[in-house]
């Protein structure tokens, strides 16, 4: 007994597999290489992508926002995971700050 699903696929209880029943389905599409996403940047007149370097101001904004995110959400994630929950929120925050300093070369 096949059960039709809205995704143009059916599930066959006897065969335990999904079959694509849409006339538009082309199995070769699954094997087609996926196009890579292009980086957001400006384009030169020749049409080549020009990648802009991060400015010190952008770095500072990024670190500020990352720290804000880490301070507000990291402890929640660590607590739910449970493996580092014994460290406590202040210890996690201090460790993150130390890691950011190390990455920045300070």
Q: How far apart are CA 25 and CA 6, in angstroms?
A: 14
Q: Is residue 51 part of a domain?
A: no
What tokens appear for 5 in the block? 């699903």
Least confident of 29-33, 47-51, 68-72: 29-33
Mean pLDDT of all residues in the chain?
A: 70
Q: How far apart are CA 105 and CA 102, in angstroms?
A: 5
Predicted local confidence at residue 58, as pLDDT? 93
The total number of structural domains in the chain stands at 1
Q: Is residue 25 part of a domain?
A: no
Q: How far is CA 87 from the centre of its chain?
A: 26
Q: Is residue 12 part of a domain?
A: no
Q: Is residue 10 part of a domain?
A: no
Which residues span the domain enclosing 100?
Answer: 56-104
Least confident of 16-20, 37-41, 82-86: 16-20
What tokens appear for 74 in the block? 């990291």
Residue 19 binned pLDDT confidence (cut-offs 50, 70, 90) = very low
Yes or no: say if 70 and 78 are a contact pair by the CB < 8 Å rule: no
């Amino acid at each position: 007994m096949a059960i039709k699903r809205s995704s143009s696929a059916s599930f066959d209880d006897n065969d335990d597999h999904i079959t694509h029943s849409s006339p538009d389905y082309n199995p070769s599409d699954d094997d087609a290489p996926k196009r890579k996403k292009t980086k957001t940047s400006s384009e030169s007149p020749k049409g080549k992508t020009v990648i802009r370097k991060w400015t010190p101001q952008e770095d500072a904004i990024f670190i500020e926002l990352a720290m804000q995110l880490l301070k507000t959400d990291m402890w929640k994630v660590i607590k739910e995971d449970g493996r580092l929950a014994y460290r406590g929120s202040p210890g996690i925050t201090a460790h993150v700050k130390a890691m950011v300093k190390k990455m920045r070369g300070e």
